[in-house]
Structure 1
Amino acid sequence: MSLSVRRRSLTAALLASTTCLGLLTACGFSSETGTGTGSSGSKASAGGGSFPVALTNAWGRTEVKEKPVRVATVSDGDTAIALALGLVPVITPDVEDGDQVAEYKQRAITKLGEKKLKTYDDTDGTDYEAIAAEEPDVILGVNTWDMDTDYAKLSPIAPVVTFADKKQSDTLTWQERLKTAAKALGLTEKADAVIAANEKTLKDAAAAHPEFQGKTYTYSVVHPEQITYMSYADQDPGVFEQLGLVKHPRSKDYSANKNGVSLENLDELESDVLLMTYPFGDEGLLSASELETNKLFRSLDVVKNKHFAVVPSENTLASAIAYPDALSAPWVVENLTPILAKAVAGK
């Protein structure tokens, strides 16, 4: 899987900066709400909620007895949730993509008064000892694929906030993940503000680009083992559908567990707009030049009519599109809309 697909930034629309709200404002940060808990564990500003809070999850029941101050995360997406809610986690997994922190995430960290986050090496999975050493009040795990393994080892450390059904590891939207975490943190009002601000950013972007309305799209990633149909029916649509695009009817034939497109079936990528990305370069199943000179690929109407575009992966944009989180939408809007506009126009 993809773009550091073991994490949900991890493995993230789109408008020029003149119509996009500023990243942090759009994500609910302001001089009033942008305070948070730094690694020292100082309290965040209140955002509503009463305690204790009890949440049922796929592995049991979590009870948060008092408003948490020290929050640990087990994925990039969970880190984004904490930052969007004005909290600096006491510890997080190290960043993907060769120590590069996504620009939008670094802006949020800086806004909250930190230069960088305290991290643990998750090459071999979640570091339970490192998390325990930070004595968190709560552990956020609503954006992870590893909770089946992690829950039994994390729950003795602190209450674990995660999804109610194992299937939701792939199907929950970032808004649903944010709301789940916010309930446990007593920050429901702040979560609502984050969602509303993101929706306004996207509404403004859609209004600026009426040509997007009703266009079908396919988003595909070249992984080492396959070409992956990322815009499958149950995938979080992220920014695309809020901008007015719709998934191709063929998307219903694909899912998280059935998402490979063979070279013999490249016509499955046909759509009004096709976006491809090559995060693994020459280590992918095939390179950009190999795919884009493929006879069947070149015969697709979407390619012949120049409604095809490549999404850059070097700046984490491709990952942010595929795995949207609570922080990324305004930044994605700012960076991808020009690419999408050219593809829709056939330029």
Structure 2
Amino acid sequence: MNRLPRPSGRRGAARVLIVAAACLALATGCSGSGSDDDTKPESKSSGSASSGAFPVSLTNAWGTTEIKEKPVKVATVSDGDTSIALALGLVPVITPDVEDGGDVPEYKQKAVDKLGAGKLKTYDDTDGTDYEAVASAAPDVILGMNTWSMDDDYAKLSAVAPVVTYAKKTDADTLTWQERLTTAAKALGLADKAKEVVDANEKAFADAAAAHPELKGKTYTYAIVHPQQITYGSYADQDPGVFEGLGLKKAPNAKNYSADKNAVSLENLDELEADVLVVSYPFGDNGLISASELEGNKLFKSLDVVKGKHYAVVSSKDGLASAVAYPDALSSSWVAGKLAPVLADAVAGT
């Protein structure tokens, strides 16, 4: 199962990539199986990952990362990597400032508080990774499992500290959050902790599905309003995991879409038809169309799923829309609890 892709014809929102970025959305840990073999990390370790033995050697798309001793100071270059560190019980020595002065998502703040971190030390990433800020934090290792800018960043970051990133460039789009977490955990000597995180997320989804049996077997369409297009997120080869993990299944029209063909024009909004339609606005007011404009669209209003009130909007105000669109190791359990009631209301037509 693959991660939600960048929308067709544009560079994705790397700053929102978490994740970003789940058995969710997209990923498999919540719904069960892993991704195809050709999308799994191809890292090789010279140490025992489960025992945390070092040295550890990990191959990546730009070379080889050698980690001689268990890292203590970890820097991150994306919010998804920050989530990995926090989920594994580590407070990063520096992270990108993805909140831009806004509220920290509930699940993230809870993790920070639990670790007694107070407020995370951040750098302004408006113009990309701040190499000098990362270097000044003197990290032992740099996590870059959730970024689309590693082509530009790797050489400069690897001069600062060993960089833990994906084995193939295509992995930037295809790895599940579980695979990203597992690779990072190998480098940190925390494989056992990573398994605990995955198991906890699987249980959260199993519990949420059991609490809402009405979801089982209902078809769904998941659409994401990006700045330049409406994206058909639940295409045939994509398993957002959030939805399947809660018992839903893809709508028949999913077969008409793929990672490379995922844009839905306003003239083809009828392609969104399903038992349940979920629309998210992870970019808030910066999306192609507002919620009120979409709901006022004549074709959209004519859909059976809309007329039957089996339509739900995932709010962007509390971070849920971004967490569903770009799942990660930290947000998955929180998403299960937040999203299941929303889907249940949609099934009921309330």
TM-score normalised over the length of structure 2? 0.84
Closer, same or farther in 2 for the Cα pair 1:176/1:52, shift >3 Å? Answer: same
* Aligned 8 A contact 2:16 2:98 in 1: no
* Paired letter, 1:9: I
Residue 138 of structure 2 corresponds to residue 129 of structure 1: no
* Paired letter, 1:231: S
Matches within 5 A, 1:328-347: 328-347=331-350
Alignment match, 1:141: 144
User: Which one of 7, 11, 17 corresponds to residue 8 of structure 1?
Assistant: 17
User: Which one of 306, 331, 334 corresponds to residue 303 of structure 1?
Assistant: 306
Shift of 1:280: 4.6
User: Which one of 88, 94, 103 corresponds to residue 91 of structure 1?
Assistant: 94
* Aligned 8 A contact 1:7 1:145 in 2: no
Shift of 1:223: 2.6
Shift of 1:230: 2.3
Distance of 1:177 and 1:303 partners within structure 2: 37
* Aligned 8 A contact 2:21 2:177 in 1: no
* Aligned 8 A contact 2:246 2:340 in 1: no
Alignment match, 2:208: 205
Closer, same or farther in 2 for the Cα pair 1:250/1:50, shift >3 Å? Answer: farther
Moved more, 88-97 or 240-249: 240-249
* Aligned 8 A contact 1:91 1:117 in 2: yes
Distance of 1:219 and 1:97 partners within structure 2: 27
TM-score normalised over the length of structure 1? 0.85
User: Which one of 321, 328, 332 corresponds to residue 325 of structure 1?
Assistant: 328
Distance of 1:315 and 1:271 partners within structure 2: 26
Shift of 1:71: 0.5
* Aligned 8 A contact 1:8 1:76 in 2: yes
Moved more, 337-346 or 272-281: 272-281
Tell me the matched-pair count.
316
User: Which one of 229, 232, 235 corresponds to residue 232 of structure 2?
Assistant: 229
Q: Which runs of 5+ in 1 are unaligned?
A: 14-25, 27-45
Alignment match, 2:191: 188
Closer, same or farther in 2 for the Cα pair 1:100/1:235, shift >3 Å? Answer: farther
Alignment match, 2:220: 217
Distance of 1:192 and 1:11 partners within structure 2: 19
* Aligned 8 A contact 2:229 2:265 in 1: yes
What secondary structure sits across from 1:250 in the alignment?
helix
* Paired letter, 2:196: A
For residues 232-286 of structure 1, what are the alpha-carbon distances to aligned partners after superposition, in whole Å with 9 as ceiling and x for unaligned? Answer: 3454524221111223343344344432110111011112211112345554322
Distance of 2:240 and 2:126 partners within structure 1: 28
Shift of 1:196: 0.7
Closer, same or farther in 2 for the Cα pair 1:222/1:131, shift >3 Å? Answer: same
Distance of 1:324 and 1:279 partners within structure 2: 12
Closer, same or farther in 2 for the Cα pair 1:212/1:345, shift >3 Å? Answer: same
Q: Cα RMSD over matched residues?
A: 2.2
Distance of 1:178 and 1:10 partners within structure 2: 11
Alignment match, 2:110: 107
Shift of 1:98: 4.2
What secondary structure sits across from 1:217 in the alignment?
strand
User: Which one of 161, 173, 178 corresponds to residue 176 of structure 2?
Assistant: 173
Distance of 2:89 and 2:284 partners within structure 1: 36
Distance of 2:86 and 2:236 partners within structure 1: 29
Matches within 5 A, 1:19-34: none
Matches within 5 A, 1:280-291: 280-291=283-294
What secondary structure sits across from 1:54 in the alignment?
strand
Q: Which runs of 5+ in 2 are unaligned?
A: 1-5, 23-29, 31-48
Distance of 2:331 and 2:261 partners within structure 1: 26
Distance of 1:238 and 1:330 partners within structure 2: 12
User: Which one of 80, 85, 92 corresponds to residue 77 of structure 1?
Assistant: 80
What secondary structure sits across from 2:267 in the alignment?
helix
Give aligned-pair identity as a percent: 72
